[in-house]
Amino acid sequence: MKRRIRVALCLGIFSFLLLSAGPASAHFGLILPSDDIVTPDDPKALTVQAKFLHPMEGHYMEMEKPKRFGFLHKGQKTDLTQSLQPRKGRSEDQDRDFTFWETTVTLRKPGDYLFFLEPAPYWEPAEDKYIVHYTKVCVQALGLEEGWDTPVGLETEIVPLTRPYGLWTGNVFTGRVLLKGKPVPHAEVEVEYLNESPGNPSKVAAPSDPYVTQVVKADGNGVFTYAMPRAGWWGFAALSEARWKLKKDGVPKPVEIGAVFWVYTADMK
Ligand SMILES: [Cu+2]
């Protein structure tokens, strides 16, 4: 609870609003592919964007070039960090541009592509700490459904127990939270809707602050479940404090490490 109030302060500072006017919301790393499924008759190049934001509010943070960005396919990692290009965006209610990162990749081989991202540490003055969100998304390619349940081996990550593509609105997403490869019992997982999801007809307004970020807790084995009530992209973030610190002006500061996973849901029509 405390943490979410501080996040509200961060938003206030960064949107140059009155501190008390900042809505409660959480930070999320985001990997946004132009498609979550690439079909054999449509093997087009995929645009993949990396962003750092408050998804429900549509507030974007300035993002430095990620430390590491790539995908895992059939047990092999491909590094795409050097292919990332900086892009500028502007969200409706912010009077400044923000930087995000983009690349294009053509998925030529069948199987699941687990895209992953390790960002540069983000300094959050309102919370007096750094934030590092290890982020993942799965793109299914050319008909072979294999690989989505493989851990990438990140410092912390969510490993899906639900196949993370081809999901209908209303489906549940179940995942396991890992820290250094081990389950995190009773991890707290924050869930947010990407209000600017492609295909989302109208922005969702939160009736009050608790609606912005949904919160679920994992069980004793680090397993959590959430049912997604709307078509679009949904982000899941499990947060831990790192054992290590990073220095800010020579002073060691705590580091929030997040395991973030994104899934897309479509309406049954
Ligand atoms: Cu922020």
As averages over each run of 10 residues, the pLDDT of the chain (269 residues) reads: 49 42 72 93 86 94 97 98 96 83 95 98 95 97 95 98 98 98 97 89 91 97 98 97 96 97 96
Distance between Cα 129 and ligand 1 center (Å): 12
Distance between Cα 92 and ligand 1 center (Å): 16
Distance between Cα 205 and ligand 1 center (Å): 19
pTM of structure: 0.92
Query: In the beta sheet, which residues pair with residue 98?
Result: 89
Q: Which two tokens stand for residue 249?
A: 């002006």
Q: Supply the pLDDT for residue 255.
A: 97
Closest by CA to 184, choosing from 257, 263, 262, is 257
Distance between Cα 60 and ligand 1 center (Å): 7
Distance between Cα 146 and ligand 1 center (Å): 35
Q: Supply the pLDDT for residue 263.
A: 98
Distance between Cα 187 and ligand 1 center (Å): 22
CA dihedral sign, ordered 18, 21, 123, 115: negative
Domain definitions of the chain by residue range: 2-266
CATH fold, domain 2-266, is Immunoglobulin-like (2.60.40)
Distance between Cα 251 and ligand 1 center (Å): 22
Q: Pairing between strand 37-38 and 98-105?
A: unpaired
